[in-house]
């Protein structure tokens, strides 16, 4: 199975997590890891599974590398009805009102365009003592299981 891992980052944390997810998946799957700013939204519909790792910047906004992707997605308005994706958001619960909002902005766009989110919505809280990659790697098996169950049904 081919899995695309996309990340939107401001400080590099999402990139590190995306790389760790890609490395974990590479043992059993064909994996591509890309920065959202380098990814064409027209490619989304053809992917078997897409994982998105996205941080939050400022007052609940997208990080810089996700902005060009979101703008292209809004302009293109592709039909994502065949897309199955999983979302992993980064944020800090100290900023309660904007916690993990960057990923939620993308999640809403994907859903509005027909995409189907599978598995639990993954999140990392920068205020916790947990490492983002550890949380994401614990989240990953549930996403793969949910995807495989969705494909069978």
Residues in the chain: 153
CATH number of the domain to which 77 belongs: 3.40.50.360
What total of structural domains would you count in the chain? 1
Q: Which two three-digit tokens encode residue 13?
A: 């944390």
Rounded Cα distance between 62 and 76, Å, is 18
Q: What is the pTM of this model?
A: 0.93
Domain containing 80 equals 2-152
Please give the chain's pLDDT, 153 residues, in tens: 889 999 999 888 999 999 999 999 999 999 999 999 999 999 886 657 999 999 988 787 899 999 999 999 999 999 999 899 999 999 877 767 867 778 999 999 999 999 999 999 999 888 888 898 999 999 999 999 999 888 766
CA distances from residue 33 to 66, 94, 118, 128, 150 in whole angstroms, order as listed: 14, 30, 19, 26, 23
């Amino acid at each position: 199975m081919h899995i695309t891992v996309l990340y939107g980052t401001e400080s590099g944390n999402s990139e590190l997590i995306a790389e760790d997810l890609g490395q974990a998946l590479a043992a059993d799957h064909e994996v591509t890891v890309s920065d959202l700013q380098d990814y064409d939204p027209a490619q989304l519909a053809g992917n078997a599974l897409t994982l998105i790792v996205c941080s939050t910047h400022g007052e609940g906004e997208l990080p810089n590398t996700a902005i060009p992707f979101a703008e292209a997605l809004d302009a293109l308005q592709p039909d994502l009805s065949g897309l199955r994706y999983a979302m992993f958001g980064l944020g800090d619960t100290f900023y309660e009102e904007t916690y993990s909002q960057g990923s939620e902005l993308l999640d809403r766009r994907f859903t509005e365009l027909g995409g189907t989110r599978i598995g639990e919505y993954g999140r990392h809280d920068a205020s916790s003592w947990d490492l983002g990659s550890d949380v994401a790697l614990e989240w990953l098996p549930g996403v793969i299981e949910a995807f495989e169950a969705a494909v069978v049904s």
